[in-house]
Amino acid sequence: MKKATLRRVLRYLPSSLLILTILFSLIYVALSLYIPILIGKAVDCMTSPINFTTLTDILIKTGICVLIAACTQWISSLINNRLTYRTIQSMRHDAFTSLHKLPLSYLDAHSAGDILSRMIADVDTFADGLLLGFTQLFTGVMTILGTLIFMLTLSPSITLVVIVLTPLSLIIARFIATKTYKMFQLQSVTRGEQTALINEAVGDLKLIQAFAHEDAEISAFDEINTRLKSCSLDATFYSSLVNPSTRFVYALVYAAVALIGAFSVLSGRLSIGTLTSFLSYANQYTKPFNDISGVITEMQNSLACADRIFCPHG
């Protein structure tokens, strides 16, 4: 079901904006990966008799790269926002159009509150996940690939250590993500039940009071509210495990790179500046995994909501 939902979401994405966000992400990643090389050269420049002219040129280049990277990231964020909300606009339009084509049997079987929850709350939650995905997912994947290439050019042996330890965090993230999807799906369904009950209670408040049915309505609300609290806490708890688990693995990766790199400097195989660049790349390599793990968690919630939007019979 997730793959089918994802394919339907991708069909809503404006291709021109998608190309632009990928292009600006590439520029940002390229500049971000070039900056550690300049910093490494600056460090090497200061470990030998300092050539202030060379050092000044390196610092100016670094400043220009940082400025362009910041502007690129800002423009990319604007494009991502436009892409996300244009997609949501199309989805809401199609959902509202489909609403008028639903058979009476569906309208009898589903409360008005549940339908409202799908079109408002679920779409808003989906928008948050989609925006986060475009803001961090593309940049994260490109950064991982780019840092691997640069690290291989600096030291293949140390890069091998990084590559060997990486799958451990991916296995952990995938296991937790699979669990959280079902929990977020249950949370979305329960939230729809609650919205339906509130909508009906407010609309029929005079009728409820006329038949002295207040206590029964409050009991029904408390039961749904308790279930919503329980499934929300479970979803939040398991989803929050992803980031600290992957951070622990990447702390080990960084420590291993620093230790092996230090021995390489002592043996003369690496310069201090090259080690500085490598440590920066190791940090840049691990950071996107932490970001992506958070994105995956949010996307589970987002896809669970999209599934309810696209599958009205669910």
- Helix orientation angle between 52-99 and 123-154, rounded to the nearest 10 degrees: 150
- Give the model confidence (pLDDT) of 253-263 as tens digits: 788 888 888 88
pLDDT for res 70:
92
- Lowest average pLDDT, out of 108-122, 139-153, 232-246, 263-277, goes to 108-122
Residues 239 and 219: their CA atoms lie apart, in Å, by: 30
Q: Which residue has the higher pLDDT, 178 or 248?
A: 248
Q: Mean of the per-residue pLDDT values for the chain?
A: 78
> Mean of the pLDDT values across residues 145-169?
81
- Helix orientation angle between 156-203 and 214-239, rounded to the nearest 10 degrees: 180
pLDDT band at 63 (very low <50, low <70, confident <90, very high): very high
- Give the model confidence (pLDDT) of 196-247 as tens digits: 888 888 778 788 888 888 888 889 889 988 998 888 888 888 777 777 777 7
Q: Candidates 3.90.280.10, 1.20.1560.10, 2.40.37.10, 1.20.120.80; correct CATH number of 2-185+240-310? A: 1.20.1560.10
Using the predicted structure, report yes or no on whether residue 82 has a pLDDT greater than 70: yes
pLDDT band at 1 (very low <50, low <70, confident <90, very high): very low
Q: Which residue has the higher pLDDT, 233 or 48?
A: 233
Q: Note the pTM of the prediction, 2 decimals.
A: 0.63
> Mean of the pLDDT values across residues 181-191?
79
- Give the model confidence (pLDDT) of 265-274 as tens digits: 888 887 888 8
Task: Please answer whether residues 150 and 280 qualify as being in contact, where contact means their C-beta atoms are separated by less than 8 angstroms.
Answer: no
Which residue is it, tokens 């964020």?
Answer: 77
pLDDT for res 71:
93
What does the domain layout of the chain look like in residue ranges?
Answer: 2-185+240-310
